[in-house]
Amino acid sequence: MGGPLRFLLSNEFGLIVLVLLFGILFSTLSPAFLSKFSLYALGRTSAVNIMIGFSMMVVIITGGLNLSVGAIGVGAAMFGGWLMQAFGMPWVPGVIGGLAMGAALGALNGVIIVRSGLHSFIITLATMSIFFGVMIYLTRAESYREISPAFTSYGRMKILGVISPLLLVTFAVAIMLSVLFRFTALGREMLVAGANARAAEISGIRVNRMITYCHMLSGILAGVAGLMLVSRTGAAIPSMAGQLGQDWLLPAFLGPVLGGTLLTGGRLSVLGTLLGSFLVTMLTTGLLLMQVGAFWIQTYLGLLLLAAVLIDLARRSYLERRKLL
Amino acid sequence: MNTAQRVLAAGLSLALLPSATLADESTRVALVPGGPHPYFAAWEQAGADAAKDFGLGSADYRVPQKWELGLQNQMLESLVTQGYNAFLVFPGDPVGTVAIANELAETGAPVMALAGCLKDPSEAVFCMGTDTGNSAYLGTKELLKQLGDGAKIVHFTGFLVDPNTQLRIDAVAKAAAEGGAEVIQVIADIDAPEPAEEKINAYLAAHVDEVDGIVTTAWVPAVVASNALRKIGDKRIVMVGIDHDEVVIQAIKDGFVHGTMLQNPYGQGYIGSFVADRLRSGCTVKADAPFKSNALTDKFIDSGTVFAGANDVDNYVGSMQSITKVLFDEFESTYLDC
């Protein structure tokens, strides 16, 4: 089967169709959906949600989970903010410091998981509380707002009046992740270790090391998401991901799962995660714009997601009947 | 909205009716709390009454479905797209909401922080809310009037990520130190039913004999602690709560709770909607307006707090009416150039 045809039959193409369908639906019901301000806001919010999805995706490929993505993201952002405020660091070393903290916390998760042999669900559930608790204790729940104006201006900048630079950062990270998992030995070893740890071990892949690397990468990506929020809000804020970082859990899972990343590990889709996270953000924005009652939004969001999955299932069934899949 | 809030709303609406003639029908005010919470329920009626009394296009209560800073930001962005042109916002975070408030102000909309403040500097014209530290201090003082020297009190309060919580903890500690009492336990992060039920009931089950007094400085802990004292049935422990939930009010009437520190959410929403329209009509905030200062801002207006004990609880609506009326009557001349 040729490349273009294979793409037309893929999960990612299904998501593109859904994004277009819901885009047409929302813009028909509320023309303001396509206003510059609305599109800009949608892109900016999506950028962070997609990054959170990536953060979970790179751990799901090991067959594990990372419930501490929010706590790590906030921890990294707070550390970066502290460096910039307390030491007057320019934003580049401050951001690098924040990402290093994200990497360290993620690696700590990985090391505990491989050393203990316990499931990542248990370990990251515990570290979620530990990381967040230590952060609150050290910061006294105070924000850092003396952030370099050059850095915070990115969060408010509009390219051509409609594109947020944060979205470009997300696209750049997506490309890097695609290259990592498609074209490098390290990325492929991570996938093989997640698909079948025993077989990977026999073929000489250091599975434990790969799991640790995946968690470290997850920490870095969570740190990127946290620092994007710092740029967006102009401050590093302890509550940016809610209590214990739990606000990030839903976007963290929805994007990868809708995008076709296997929960059993071994397979991922960077484009699928990007599209899945974008679809969820678009649905929320569209429902808000249509003034659906606040307490109905979750219900409608659930219904729309169910509809999205069923539409995709129908598409696949059709293709299978036609022997195209 | 419960019966008491309806009575309060109706009473205030009738009492504050004048001066709607210069209103602008194009004014569309959005009253946006940080998330669902009973404290803000009075804003809905306040906005509706203000829209009717002052002839505004609308003054609508819009609640993010969860307490998430990101969701509140997303909702505010959506409200701009929907054509709202004035915003009364409880900041999801005093620092984190500054950026979106500034963006709203850039669209030309007046923005006010309501019930909680934004950290200066921000484009919010002012912050109107309860002086939380003062309320906690006064509440503790009322509690200590009932207790002797060396009393042991516990403090149930809100989320630690809310900087107001630290102000409340400090204020209670200060009042206790001045009154010769000891704060033997502070339990925070419980302004939600599940953690409040779990932690308050567990604490009282284990330590009920060691506690002389309870002060609560958040809505849900006040409700849960009131119920807990009613269940225990021992009126030895003296409690001062906060806000006007019917559970707390009834517990005061039945003698299980000594009193409550009332706040004024209706007045915030009603006066805030009025001011939003006046600002859109060309009024400006006086350069020498007599704002107060708190830990977050130098543009603070106290929307009022008052203690209601057993003798006052039947007329607590009247107490809040009088506070709101005084604030409303003098607001334009005190704070605005029109």
- In this predicted complex, what is the ipTM? 0.75
**The pLDDT of residue B240:** 97
Residue B282 has pLDDT above 70, yes or no: yes
Task: Say if the Cβ atoms of A141 and B80 lie within 8 Å.
Answer: no
Query: Which residue, of B197, B231, B262, is where some domain finishes?
Result: B262
- The CA dihedral of B121, B125, B129, B134, to the nearest 10 degrees, is 50
Q: To the nearest whole percent, how much of chain B has pLDDT over 90?
A: 63
Query: Are B42 and B142 contained in the same domain?
Result: no
Chain A contact present for B14, CB below 8 A = no
Q: Are B91 and B117 a contacting pair, CB within 8 Å?
A: yes
**The pLDDT of residue A324:** 63
What average pLDDT does the structure give for chain B?
88
In a domain, B310, yes or no: no
Chain B contact present for A70, CB below 8 A = no
**The pLDDT of residue A2:** 59
DSSP letter string, A3-60: HHHHHHTSHHHHHHHHHHHHHHHHHHH-GGGGSHHHHHHHHHHHHHHHHHHHHHHHHH
The mean per-residue pLDDT over the stretch B122-130 comes to 94
Query: Are B156 and B222 contained in the same domain?
Result: yes
Q: CATH number, domain at B202?
A: 3.40.50.2300
Instruction: Report helix, strand or coil for B92.
Output: coil
**pLDDT class of A315 with cuts at 50, 70, 90:** confident
The mean per-residue pLDDT over the stretch A35-62 comes to 94
**The pLDDT of residue B14:** 44
Residue A180 burial (CB count, 10 A) = 16
Weakest-pLDDT range from A34-48, A138-152, B259-273, B278-292:
A138-152
Q: Are A50 and A258 a contacting pair, CB within 8 Å?
A: no
The mean per-residue pLDDT over the stretch A11-15 comes to 84
Angle at A63 between CA A61 and CA A68, to 5 degrees: 85
Task: Say if the Cβ atoms of B78 and A38 lie within 8 Å.
Answer: yes
A94 Cα distance to chain centroid: 22
Chain B contact present for A33, CB below 8 A = yes
Q: Are B194 and B163 a contacting pair, CB within 8 Å?
A: no
Helix (H) or strand (E) holding A290: none
Query: Distance between the two ends of chain A, CA-based, in angstroms?
Result: 10
What Å distances lie between residue A214 and A51, A106, B176, CA to CA?
Answer: 15, 8, 51
Instruction: Report helix, strand or coil for B141.
Output: helix
Residue B151 has pLDDT above 70, yes or no: yes
The mean per-residue pLDDT over the stretch A61-66 comes to 93
Query: Are B49 and B37 contained in the same domain?
Result: yes
Query: Are B255 and B297 contained in the same domain?
Result: no
How far apart are the C-alpha atoms of A62 and A197, rounded to whole Å?
A: 9
Query: Are B252 and B227 contained in the same domain?
Result: yes
Going along chain A from its start, the domains and CATH numbers come out as: 3-320 (1.10.3470)
Which residues are CB-neighbours of A11 under 8 A, at least 6 positions away?
Answer: A259, A260, A269, A272, A312
**The pLDDT of residue B13:** 52
What's the half-sphere exposure (Cβ side, CA atoms, 13 Å) at B100?
30
In a domain, B312, yes or no: no
Longest dimension (CA), chain A: 64
The mean per-residue pLDDT over the stretch A221-233 comes to 95
Nearest CB to B68 within list A140, A145, A247: A247
**The pLDDT of residue B7:** 44
Task: Say if the Cβ atoms of A141 and B103 lie within 8 Å.
Answer: no
**The pLDDT of residue A292:** 75
Instruction: Report helix, strand or coil for B306.
Output: strand
Query: Are B146 and B218 contained in the same domain?
Result: yes
What Å distances lie between residue B194 and B162, B190, B191, B199, B322, CA to CA?
Answer: 18, 8, 9, 9, 35
In a domain, B191, yes or no: yes
In a domain, B170, yes or no: yes
Parallel, antiparallel, or unpaired: how do β-strands B238-242 and B300-302 relate? unpaired
Task: Say if the Cβ atoms of B65 and A297 lie within 8 Å.
Answer: yes
Task: Say if the Cβ atoms of B99 and A140 lie within 8 Å.
Answer: no
The residue among A152 and B156 whose pLDDT is bigger is B156
Nearest CB to A237 within list B67, B68, B95: B95
Query: Are B175 and B212 contained in the same domain?
Result: yes
Parallel, antiparallel, or unpaired: how do β-strands B306-309 and B259-262 relate? antiparallel
Query: Are B125 and B139 contained in the same domain?
Result: no
The mean per-residue pLDDT over the stretch B286-292 comes to 93
Query: Which residue, of B228, B262, B296, is where some domain finishes?
Result: B262
| Closest-CA residue to A60 (of A243, A173, A193, A209) | A193
Query: Are B26 and B113 contained in the same domain?
Result: yes
pLDDT in tens, A133-143: 999 889 887 88
Residue ranges making up the domain that contains B159 = 132-262
pLDDT in tens, A79-135: 999 999 999 899 999 999 999 999 999 999 999 999 999 999 999 999 999 999 999
DSSP letter string, B198-263: HHHHHHHHHHGGG-SEEEE-SHHHHHHHHHHHHHH--TTSEEEEES--HHHHHHHHTTSS-EEEE-
The mean per-residue pLDDT over the stretch B286-307 comes to 90
Weakest-pLDDT range from A95-104, A118-127, B62-71, B116-125:
B62-71
**The pLDDT of residue B295:** 80
Q: Which parts of chain A fold into alpha helices (H)?
A: 3-8, 11-29, 36-60, 69-86, 91-116, 120-139, 149-156, 165-183, 185-195, 197-202, 207-233, 249-259, 270-289, 297-321
**Which tokens is B118 given?**
């934004």
Residue A95 burial (CB count, 10 A) = 23
B329 Cα distance to chain centroid: 20
The number of distinct structural domains making up chain B is: 2
pLDDT in tens, B172-220: 999 999 999 999 999 998 988 889 999 999 999 999 899 999 999 999 9
Residues in A 47-66 with any Cβ partner in B closer than 8 A: 48
What Å distances lie between residue B251 and B215, B216, B254, CA to CA?
Answer: 14, 14, 5
In a domain, B309, yes or no: no
Chain A contact present for B38, CB below 8 A = no
B290 Cα distance to chain centroid: 21
Weakest-pLDDT range from A252-261, B75-84, B121-130:
A252-261
Task: Say if the Cβ atoms of B92 and A298 lie within 8 Å.
Answer: no
**The pLDDT of residue A295:** 65
Residue that has been written with the tokens 């929307």 in this structure? B303
Task: Say if the Cβ atoms of B96 and A242 lie within 8 Å.
Answer: no
Query: Are B99 and B165 contained in the same domain?
Result: no
In a domain, B46, yes or no: yes
pLDDT in tens, B305-326: 889 998 888 877 777 777 888 8
pTM score above 0.90:
no
DSSP state of B285: E
Q: Are B176 and B183 a contacting pair, CB within 8 Å?
A: yes
pLDDT in tens, B229-262: 999 887 899 999 999 899 999 999 999 999 999 9
**The pLDDT of residue B1:** 46
Query: Are B273 and B244 contained in the same domain?
Result: no
**The pLDDT of residue B140:** 96
How far apart are the C-alpha atoms of A147 and B99, rounded to whole Å?
A: 13
**The pLDDT of residue A94:** 95
**pLDDT class of A325 with cuts at 50, 70, 90:** low
Residue A92 burial (CB count, 10 A) = 11
**The pLDDT of residue B22:** 55
The mean per-residue pLDDT over the stretch B63-91 comes to 90
Query: Are B185 and B106 contained in the same domain?
Result: no
In a domain, B332, yes or no: yes
How far apart are the C-alpha atoms of B158 and B156, rounded to whole Å?
A: 7
Nearest CB to A285 within list B74, B94, B96: B74
**Which tokens is B108 given?**
């030309």
DSSP state of A206: -
**The pLDDT of residue A322:** 75
In a domain, B49, yes or no: yes
Residue that has been written with the tokens 């206003």 in this structure? A35
Task: Say if the Cβ atoms of B78 and A289 lie within 8 Å.
Answer: yes
From chain B, the residues in CB contact with A243 under 8 A are 159, 161, 189
The mean per-residue pLDDT over the stretch A7-24 comes to 85
What's the half-sphere exposure (Cβ side, CA atoms, 13 Å) at A79?
26
